[in-house]
Homo-oligomer: A and B are copies of this chain.
């Protein structure tokens, strides 16, 4: 990891460099994606079976995962792990229930009722990656908020392995999350199936969940016809620490992010040069012992930094500029600094709240804004699975009271039929 002493100027360039990770020309990938989308739109299930044979190397008889397959997966995973999944579900449910909002109406003025109706989306699709990136936590974190929001039906798509099987942890998590239908479809073709619908797969209103670049570009392409969640970039952690904090803890937390992939970024911002040196040493030591050594070394080399700053205010200023996905604050009295933290996906306070506790278990969502988008985006939540409608009622008298003002306004805009819709009533 590179240690950089910040003089109050040079951090901006570093922040920009981090934020532009993964900016690319996608035109080649898009051509392939558009072809797949178009083929599924025209040929439905036939195209889905063909792509599964081509990309996943398996000839399926059925796209939908059977109840038997799900029960089998639950057996394989075992009771102990099912109980952990259920406890995680309870925590995730409990947190997300607090995000729910009620519809409201108001009657501040005689004869006028205004309001806002909040309704769940009718049907949602979840993409769950297969292979090495098959994470049961992703299934919980996408499925449970939709369920809590009141979504009527939830379909999950995930690529099968070459034997036509789905990772049992994924299936068990889907069962625990209460997902209604599961299909053995991956890649851009699964996004097409969810967006356009086929004979086997009913179309959805929104598609969520992480995937590879083909999935991400396909989601972007169907956005508008259906809604999509944010398209996540590489993962990030930023740790703000003052002196006398434990370098072992800090190093372990940096590594927990770096192991995700080679593009992941891990940053420590500290007021203590001494701590910076100790963390650097500890990072090297822990990396040597790590199961995912190659990935960690590469991501730390490219996107790992230790910034030494003059004071905590400066550390927070840099962190606000980076707008990290995960922000750990390991300083004395971390709660006192909260009002200064402007941009971060999730904030972990104190020395005993390591980021992984939020990935699986605590309750808040692990789908978080990356690449600086925490400046304007939020964690996935129940608010992503509802839509609002405005409600207006005017009595005849209430409309009469304001009619001239509305007519004046419509004339100022040159929209005379707008004014006429008022005039015609009196």
Contacts and interface: CB of A to CB of B under 8 A. Distances in A.
A178 interface: no
A58 to B, nearest CB: 22
A121 B349 CA distance: 23
Contacts of A417: 252, 255-256, 258-259, 286, 290-292, 296
Nearest to A109: B91
B286 A84 contact: no
A110 to B, nearest CB: 13
A413 interface: yes
Nearest to A393: B349
A171 interface: no
A375 B122 contact: yes
A399 B354 CA distance: 9
Contacts of A369: 387
Interface string A329-358: 000001100100111111111111111111
Interface stretch (A60-68, A99-107, A181-189, A309-317): A99-107
Given A376-B121, A392-B357, A409-B361, A352 B383 contact: no
B373 A224 contact: yes
Interface in A79-108: 80-81, 84, 87-88, 94-95, 98-99, 101, 104, 106, 108
Contacts of A84: 405, 408-409
A359 to B, nearest CB: 6
Contacts of A352: 394-396, 398-399, 425
Nearest to A282: B424
Interface of A: 80-81, 84, 87-88, 94-95, 98-99, 101, 104, 106, 108, 112-114, 116-117, 119, 121-122, 132, 134-137, 169, 205-206, 224, 226-227, 231, 248-249, 252-253, 255-256, 258-260, 286, 290-292, 296, 334-335, 338, 341-365, 368-369, 371, 373-379, 381, 383, 387-396, 398-399, 402, 405-406, 408-410, 412-425
24 contacts: A88-B405, A113-B349, A116-B364, A137-B409, A206-B376, A224-B373, A227-B373, A255-B420, A256-B421, A258-B417, A259-B415, A290-B420, A291-B417, A350-B394, A351-B396, A352-B396, A352-B398, A354-B421, A356-B410, A357-B399, A357-B406, A360-B406, A364-B392, A379-B390
